[in-house]
Amino acid sequence: MKKILFLLLAGTLFTGCASTRRGPESGAAVGGTKGSATAADGKAIVSKDDDLNEYAASTIADPLEPVNRATFWFNHQLYTFLLRPVSKTYETIIPKPLRKGIYNVFDNAEFPVRFVNDLLQGKVDRAGQETGKFAVNSVLGVGGLFKQSDKFPALAHVPKGSTGQTFAKWGIDHGCYIVLPVIGPSSVRDTVGLAGDYVLNPILWIGMAWGIPAWTIPVSAADTLCVLPEKFEQYDAATKTSLDRYLSLRSSYAQYRKEAAKK
Amino acid sequence: MKTRLIALALAAVLAGTLHASTADAEARLRTAVNEVLVAAQRSTTSRELPDRIGPILLRNISFETMTRRAVGPGWRGFTDDQKRQAIKLFGSLIVRTYCDKITPGEFPDIKFKPAATPAPGRVEVPTRLTYQGSTYAVTYRLEEDDGWKITDVMIEGVSMVANYRTQFDAIFKKNGPGGILGALEKQETKKR
């Protein structure tokens, strides 16, 4: 009984604090405790500075920054003068539904990448969902052309597994930040992960199986082409209103990967 | 027994108030998002977006909190004038960044998911935004300080404030408050 009383007391004290902090009517009290100048003039700009470290400045180590910046500059020129025009042309020539279809075919064919990584991460349910998606899209979606699986709530919005994500789950650290030529932001972990994804990609196997490894070149090119518009959208989102393109993209990359590893 | 009952009653009241404040924050966000959507739909060119959407954002976003946190501990080295200037410039940058993600006349589908309360006076509302066949996870953070205000937007886990924090930090280390204001001014002139 005493224990309950104590808890109750502690509870009221705590919530008492909390509600003074929350209550809009006690705004002055809050201001007082924080030493803020939130007064009648409404210019509360000044002295509230207890939350300045709310966000960490950087979430990924970048000892190679000078080299990375050089590669980044090279990539930016490559994008601006070659890849972006290619992407724009692709967007103009191929109508959106067909582009989506081509994208879907590749996405569907890359099922083993996600399936194997889900299993390696112990996500058996998700591997099952991926199998379901693959079956539905291959059969009902005519070889993956139409993404029919989104019509089934159980198969919609399945986070994509990748080898880099598997490494993250296994507790392997990012390592430092690397800007890869052409591809762009990566880390030591994700660069190795890319190799893993590549090996798991059936596009590679088929070329090998048919004894024509060169087959992979045009197909990989098509695979890359169909994701270009989306990639540029992401690139622009991170760089267009930035103060330092390089740092903005690095921060976006680090945060995005951190979030993906949680899924 | 009696104390237990009181405890239960108190817990219920507490849950009620907690719930109410989360609901307030969610309601505030829904209204704001709707206003933005309506404004975007009424616009015909990207040019008029900032003028239409800016005032809505001004009412619903705490530019001051965002600026302070994006700058970080260096904020203490700003004079009051510099702070005001930084908030004004960064606020305008936030408006432009936000408008940049909106196509006039388009109507994205936004689904609100259950809010989380990571700390008292702080609510995070995850949403799923579907737009031209692509889906994005957008989470809004709201904080209570003289009413609920948005203090961060996270798109696919990428926080707007954290992103600028990395950039400001590097500029501040090199050139102090003046460097940050200069970079913001340069961005501002780039828009035209």
A54 within 8 A of B162, measured Cβ to Cβ: no
pLDDT at position B12, please? 57
- For the beta carbon of residue A240, count every other beta carbon within 10 angstroms: 14
Among chain A residues, CA nearest to B122: A22
Separation CA B72–CA B58 (nearest Å): 22
Separation CA A17–CA B64 (nearest Å): 25
User: Chain B 24-63, CB below 8 Å of chain A: which residues?
Assistant: none
Angstrom distances, CA of residue A72 to CA of A6, A67, A75, A242, B119 = 60, 8, 5, 15, 39
Q: What is the largest CA-CA distance in chain B?
A: 71
Beta-carbon contacts of A223 under 8 Å, excluding residues fewer than 6 positions away, are A106, A203
Most confident of A4-13, B6-15, B23-32: B23-32
Please give the single-letter amino acid code of residue B50: P
Please give the single-letter amino acid code of residue A211: G
Q: Which residue would you say has higher pLDDT here, A195 or B159?
A: B159
Most confident of A33-37, B15-19, B95-99, B104-108: B95-99
CB contact under 8 A, B7 and A4: yes
Please give the single-letter amino acid code of residue A129: Q
Which of A49, A52, A60, A98 to substitute to test the interface with B, most B CBs within 10 Å?
A: A52
Beta-carbon contacts of A17 under 8 Å, excluding residues fewer than 6 positions away, are none
For A20-45, b/e burial (b = at least 16 CB within 10 A) is ebbeeeebeebbeebebebeeeeebb
Chain B touched by A44 (CB under 8 Å): yes
Mean pLDDT of B13-29: 74
Sign of the alpha-carbon dihedral angle for A222, A224, A227, A228: negative
Chain B partners of A237 at a C-beta cutoff of 8 Å? Answer: 100-101, 155
Mean pLDDT of B187-192: 76
Helix locations, B43-125, DSSP H = 49-60, 63-71, 80-100
- For the beta carbon of residue B148, count every other beta carbon within 10 angstroms: 24
Q: Is pLDDT at A176 greater than 70 in this prediction?
A: yes
Please give the single-letter amino acid code of residue A117: N
Predicted confidence (pLDDT) per residue in B118-143, tens digit: 888 899 999 998 887 778 899 999 99
Encoded tokens for A30: 């809050």
A175 within 8 A of A146, measured Cβ to Cβ: no
Beta bridge partners of B135: B130
Give which of B148, B190, B165 is closest to B30, Cα–Cα: B148
CB contact under 8 A, A8 and B17: no
Please give the single-letter amino acid code of residue B61: I
Instruction: Kindly indicate the confidence band of residue A128, based on its pLDDT and cuts at 50, 70 and 90.
Output: very high
Predicted confidence (pLDDT) per residue in A7-23, tens digit: 433 433 333 333 333 33
* Count of helices and strands (H, E) across chain B: 5, 6
Q: Is pLDDT at B9 greater than 50 in this prediction?
A: yes
DSSP state of A60: S
